[in-house]
Amino acid sequence: MKSEDILRGLRDRDPRGIARAISLVEENDPLADEILSSLDDALVAEAMILGITGPPGAGKSTLTDRVIAKYRLKGKRVGVIAVDPSSPISGGALLGDRVRMMGHALDKDVVVRSMATRGRLGGLCAAAGAAMRILASSGCSVIIIETVGVGQSEMDIIRIADITALVLAPGLGDDIQAMKAGLLEVADILIVNKADCPGAEALAMDMESIAREGGSKEKDRAKVCMTVASEGKGIDELLAAIETVDASHRESGERRTRREKAYDLEVLEWALEMIKPSIIEKINTWNHDRKGAPRLQAAKLLGRECVRISE
Amino acid sequence: MPEQKKTHRVLIGKPGLDGHDRGAKFLARALRDAGFEVVYTGIRRTPEEIAAAAVQEDVSAVGLSLLSGAHMSLFPAVVQALKNAGAGDIPVLGGGIIPDEDIDLLKEAGISEVYTPGTPVEKIIAAFRSACEKQEARRT
Ligand code: B12
Ligand SMILES: Nc1nc2c(ncn2[C@@H]2O[C@H](COP(=O)(O)OP(=O)(O)O)[C@@H](O)[C@H]2O)c(=O)[nH]1
Ligand SMILES: [Mg+2]
């Protein structure tokens, strides 16, 4: 496909054009700039970005499938970015989230894209932000980003999403302990999935008590929802919780604050990404003696008199 | 820094009612371990669903696995569904329990490679790599 074809495809919501556009951005193709500058900012600003995160096997993909169906009933065009980790050894990845969403495969208004992290930590791939913009620009007014989140360090999703839901399920005990301090603090909605399984009630009570620590006012606290994704139970309540959070974020200005922060952070990351090669080039060609502490060498490399990192 | 090699994206699909998914999953893992990004569709998909997924995922090749004997109708149906979706350029490879006399007929019907039990996995990976490279060069 030529660049005009891809740009036209994007405008016309042609599935192949959208898919090629995401790939070209993911591969840092020279066409990426042209694609990204052709996007519709107003649509990007209006879309609702919902992050769904949690440990493997909690039911994120099954839940995503159900949430898609509900938004389709409301007439919304839905985009999904399903992120799975790349193998650090081979660089390959098994992208299996789509298996649970194949029921929507023939619906032209459901665009599912599987992406691998490609070596990036934090559970989100570098191109997810761009993919989100491309999907929004192609008319998706709801965009769901599914990521594996198991530890405190995996908080990237929060930065890019307007609303973050953390999915837990009974029987994943240790993971939940590890997450308490991290993701639980920033999740807007705590979903206890597999409510049909033993231990769900206790987990939900645990979540309620954690949510209560989040604030004295009801509206500042994370909402707790119980679902049986495999049977489609509790999804209406989940959508209601999403709507409540969204309305309150819009009213308080939280939605705008998050968007602005996410935007600036993405700019910072791309800026760092862009200056990195020139620094690598300097290190590779620099005739230094590899003596002394590397951080002192770094200052010298950049022509600074001393190491000053935070000011 | 080494020149970054392009990551190949492929889709492994199982059309029709055949529930034998060991081979498909085995192949998906083998391709992942060889550095491919592999989208798996799960069992019991229609040719149209597989084609739509291949388009949305922008894969460079589609692999179909069938052990039930329905390959003569289902493999060409996927090729046709891809054409209908404007993606007739994406190469389709196939494998599973397929009698020798069917292989040439499948190739005439647009399946680029067909592999049966006993094929070393390295050979299959090489076939996917070469199909992806050709497709990516053509597509630019
Ligand atoms: C294991 C097995 C099962 C398991 C399946 C488990 C599972 N989840 O996969 C169970 C017990 C459930 C089963 C059930 C049945 N089975 Co069965 N099963 C087998 C058996 C013994 C091995 C298949 C296998 O897993 N091989 C291991 C994998 C790794 O090999 P593979 O899939 O062939 O893949 C290799 C190649 O073919 C190739 N390849 C495969 N896919 C692809 C794709 C691409 C793109 C490429 C390039 C290459 C490629 O690469 C792989 C590596 O070399 C075969 C006999 C046999 N020797 O093959 C019968 C066999 C496939 N089964 C058969 C039958 C009839 C059935 C049943 C209908 C039996 C019944 N009456 O109930 C049911 C139907 C199940 C269903 N829902 O569809 C027949 C099919 C006959 C036919 N095609 O005409 C076979 C051939 C046995 C026979 N000789 O009669 N089966
Ligand atoms: N019992 C039960 N199983 C579920 C439920 N939701 C999902 N599952 C199953 O849990 C497994 C993992 O689901 P999946 O959506 O792939 O989880 P993910 O890894 O978080 O995306 C699958 O076998 C699902 O069928 C549920 O509410 N109850
Ligand atoms: Mg999943």
Q: pLDDT tens across B60-117, in order? A: 999 999 999 999 999 999 999 999 999 999 999 999 999 999 999 999 999 999 999 9
From atom 20 of ligand 1, which residue's Cα is the shortest distance away? B20
Q: Is residue A145 part of a domain?
A: yes
Could you tell me if A126 and A245 lie in one domain?
Answer: yes
Phi, psi of A165, rounded to the nearest 5 degrees:
-115, 130
How many Å lie between the centroid of ligand 3 and the Cα of residue A55? 9
Q: What mean pLDDT comes out for the span A14-42?
A: 93
Task: Quickly state the pLDDT bin for A306 (edges 50, 70, 90).
Answer: confident
Could you tell me if A240 and A269 lie in one domain?
Answer: no
B9-139 to CATH, choices 2.30.22.10, 3.30.360.10, 3.40.50.280, 1.10.10.10: 3.40.50.280
Q: How far is A108 from chain B (nearest CA, A)?
A: 9
Provide the residue range defining the domain that includes A293: 263-310
B90 touches chain A (CB under 8 A): no
Instruction: Return the closest-CA partner of residue A262 out of A83, A60, A121, A51.
Output: A51
Work out how many domains chain A is built from and give that number: 2
Q: What mean pLDDT comes out for the span B35-58?
A: 98
> Above 60 in pLDDT, residue A216?
yes
What's the ipTM? 0.94
The answer to whether the Cβ–Cβ distance between B29 and A90 falls below 8 Å is no
Q: Is residue A30 part of a domain?
A: no
Could you tell me if A185 and A74 lie in one domain?
Answer: yes
Location of structure tokens 């789509």:
A98
CB pairs under 8 A between A and B: 91
How many Å lie between the centroid of ligand 3 and the Cα of residue A83? 8
> Above 60 in pLDDT, residue A285?
yes
Instruction: Return the closest-CA partner of residue A51 out of A40, A60, A43.
Output: A60
How far, CA to CA in Å, does A41 sit from each of A12, A34, A44, B86, B102? Answer: 16, 14, 5, 28, 53
| pLDDT tens per residue, range A181-197 | 665 667 899 999 999 99
d(CA B63, CA B95): 8
Q: Which residue has the higher pLDDT, A288 or B44?
A: B44
Could you tell me if A208 and A286 lie in one domain?
Answer: no
Residues 6+ away with beta carbon under 8 Å from A191 = A54, A63, A165, A166, A167, A168, A224, A225, A226, A227, A238
How many Å lie between the centroid of ligand 1 and the Cα of residue B122? 20
Phi, psi of B3, rounded to the nearest 5 degrees:
-60, 130
CB-proximal residues (5 Å) to ion ligand 3: A 60-61, 97
Could you tell me if A273 and A167 lie in one domain?
Answer: no
Q: Is residue A26 part of a domain?
A: no
Q: Work out the percent of chain A whose per-residue pLDDT is above 70.
A: 89
Stated pTM of the model? 0.94
Residue A145: CB atoms within 10 A of its CB come to: 28
Q: Return the best residue to mutate from B18, B20, B39 for the ligand 1 pocket (most ligand atoms within 8 A of CB).
A: B20
